[in-house]
Amino acid sequence: MSTLGTCNTTNRHVLNWVNEMVALCQPDRVFWCNGSEEEKQALTEQAVAEGVLIRLNQEKLPGCYYHRSNPNDVARVEQCTYICTDTEAEAGPTNNWAPPKEMKERLYALARGGMKGRTMYVIPYLMGPPGSPLAKVGLELTDSIYVVLNMRIMTRMGDVAFRQLGSSEDFNRGLHCLLDVHPDRRYICHFPRENLIISVGSGYGGNVLLGKKCLALRIGSYLAQQQGWMAEHMLILGVESPSGEKTFVAAAFPSACGKTNFAMLVPPPRFEGWKIWTVGDDIAWMRPGADGRLYAINPEMGYFGVAPGTNARTNPNAMRTIARDTIYTNVALTPDLDVWWEGKDGPPPQECLDWQGRRWTPESREKAAHPNSRFTAPARNNPALAPEFDDPNGVPISAIIFGGRRATTMPLVFEAFNWVHGVFVGATIGSEMTAAAVGGLGQVRRDPMAMLPFCGYNMGDYFRHWLRMRKRLKYPPRIFHVNCFRRDAEGRFLWPGFGENMRVLKWIVDRCRGRANAYETPLGWVPGPEDIDLTGLENFTATDLEKVLDIDIEEWRRELILQEELFLKLYSHLPKEMIFQRELLVARL
């Protein structure tokens, strides 16, 4: 076994664990990553030589590379994802559970000798700005060079993590082995009590970039509940008014429901002088500040965003962000080594290779890019990256927004009556399934706080944690619900969305600042027709606004029954406040 790179730590907990895992996986080489530019270049060259990456057209896309995953491995797999707590009740009915000892034995049996002939990369990484009270250190051991290069974009990778860690034992241990990338040997397992993640048999983002969903959300939410903070599946953005007033909001939408677009929103011409700043597009870690407000950081350093549908109209800042130093996965490849996906600007290429490397023309029946194809791009490329991005204290959150993808039932926007009601609103989010997870596209499923696939413990206890946080906040954020995906009877979207969402955001900010009107409905506070600025919005009238804000009692009768299904499932751990809120809603309706 040879050692490559340089090991820049003397932390014995780190060294011991790496040695243990080396003995288990038996790699031919161990490569210690330091996160430097030279290292990135060398590893990129190597990935190209190995065929893991294809160098894209460097004139059009400087620093950009292309990757195709195994076709059986293109999204998160919830049926292979486990929370291994001591008891099944701790994991709760919405998670797969296995006893920690048993699962570890099974995984170690799979990993034993699993890196023979291969290189084990040791990736130290930091989630959060250096020095932040919320920041956490992780150590990922992987035999995938693709993972190393993605982690380098998505996290603060390298010696910065060892500096933060010092001689402490408090870091997340993450082992990732590709094995033969076979669905039968695919497991993404979390051991929250040991702060340990073991992921085998997959090479796909959410399953293997262990800092993201595994540490930042599943393990993170478990630690947050114990330590009195919050780990949430939320974007964070700042709204700056022409006078320079800044208001920060966090928003939870399920995977592939537009968080990245929302986080990078460019206001329409009507809002001249307004500016949206991106803090994060996927994950928020939040804790009460000394002033009684809730402060949030984005633990990540990059965006792992859905490519299809991204274009100059839907997300101009993303287009700029992904123009360089980006890794594209499972999009289509054009003959001049450019990338393409459904919904990109301009006409489709006359001919290209699809995400599986097969010849594709506009006549082909299948899509050229996989619906869950992704870009991995550095946050620093984003022209609207918030100046507060590296602030160790984070940003004060004035509003929390919940949302989902709903064709009916949910109005464009409403504000919860108070925190407890807001928790109920978040707990009952429904959304049509998307391509980010393997499963039934289009079906509505309950996705509380957009955390259903990411909550590392019992969902009922998670609601209780949310309720408890209220007591720790003197000035809790206001809570809202938005739905930008409502459709008419013909299936057309009722609201233009994208940049025009600024109009909704402006109302939300004004509500937080005590400047906007609303009227009371059974669901919560809803803007009146005059409260949302429609100036400059073409082909959209006050009547259309009424339609998109409408509350249909018949639809709500059905919604209540669907909501009840989740509550029944969670019944044994459900806080009684949730039942009261439901009763109140029934009475109001």
Cβ 219 to ligand SAT shortest distance, Å: 14
Site string for Mn ion, 279-308 (x = CB under 5 A): ---x--------------------------
Considering only residues 244-263, where is the footprint of Mn ion by CB under 5 A? 255
Beta bridge partners of 137: 126
Displacement of CA 571 from its chain's centroid (Å): 27
What does the buried/exposed string (b/e) look like for 327-349 if buried means 16 or more CB atoms within 10 Å of the residue's CB?
bbbbbbbbeebbbbbbebeeebb
> Which residue of 156, 190, 212, 464 would you call a contact of ligand SAT, by CB under 6 A?
212
SS (H, E, C) 159-178: HHHHHHHCCCCCCEEEEEEC
Which residues are CB-neighbours of 257 under 8 A, at least 6 positions away? 403, 404, 405, 431, 434, 450, 485
Q: Which of 403, 401, 409, 434 is nearest to 562 (CA)?
A: 409
Site string for ligand SAT, 433-472 (x = CB under 6 A): ---x------------------------------------
CA-wise closest residue to 395 among 54, 132, 121, 28: 132
Give 241-245 contacts, CB < 8 A, sequence gap 24+: 241/273, 241/274, 241/509, 242/272, 242/273, 242/274, 245/513
Q: Which is nearer to ligand SAT, 253 or 417 (CB)?
A: 253
Work out what residue 373 binds among Mn ion, ligand SAT, none; the CB cut-off runs from 5 to 8 Å by kind: none
Q: Which of 158, 192, 205, 460: binder of ligand SAT (CB under 6 A)? A: 205
Cα dihedral 534, 540, 543, 548 in deg (nearest 10): -90
CB of 394 to Mn ion, least distance (A): 19
Residue selected from 304, 389, 480, 525 as contacting ligand SAT according to rule CB under 6 A: 304
Run of H or E residues at 315: none
Binding residues with Mn ion: total (CB under 5 A): 2
Q: How far is the CB of 157 from ligand SAT (least distance, A)?
A: 17
Q: Can you tell me which of 35, 92, 206, 396 binds ligand SAT, judged by CB under 6 A? A: 206
Half-sphere exposure of 321 (CA within 13 A, CB side): 30
Residue 206 contacts which entry, Mn ion, ligand SAT, none (Cβ below 5-8 A, type-dependent): ligand SAT
CA-nearest of 112, 111, 181, 172 to 146 is 181
CB under 6 A: which stretch of 205-213, 291-299, 378-386, 410-418 binds ligand SAT?
205-213
Min dist CB 213 to ligand SAT, Å, is 5
Q: Which is nearer to ligand SAT, 78 or 577 (CB)?
A: 78
Catalytic residue selected from 257, 352, 455, 512: 257
By rule CB under 6 A, what count of residues binds ligand SAT?
8
Q: What is the smallest separation between the CB atom of 282 and Mn ion, expressed in angstroms?
A: 4
Give the start-end residues of each E strand in 330-434.
332-333, 339-340, 352-353, 359-360, 374-378, 395-403, 413-415, 430-432
Largest CA distance in the chain: 71
Confirm whether 257 is a catalytic residue: yes
**C-beta separation of 283 from 263 below 8 A:** no
Shortest spacing between CB 205 and ligand SAT, in angstroms: 4
What track of x and - describes contact with ligand SAT for positions 241 through 260 (by CB under 6 A)? --------------x-----
Residues that bind ligand SAT (CB under 6 A): 76, 205-206, 212-213, 255, 304, 436
Residues that bind Mn ion (CB under 5 A): 255, 282
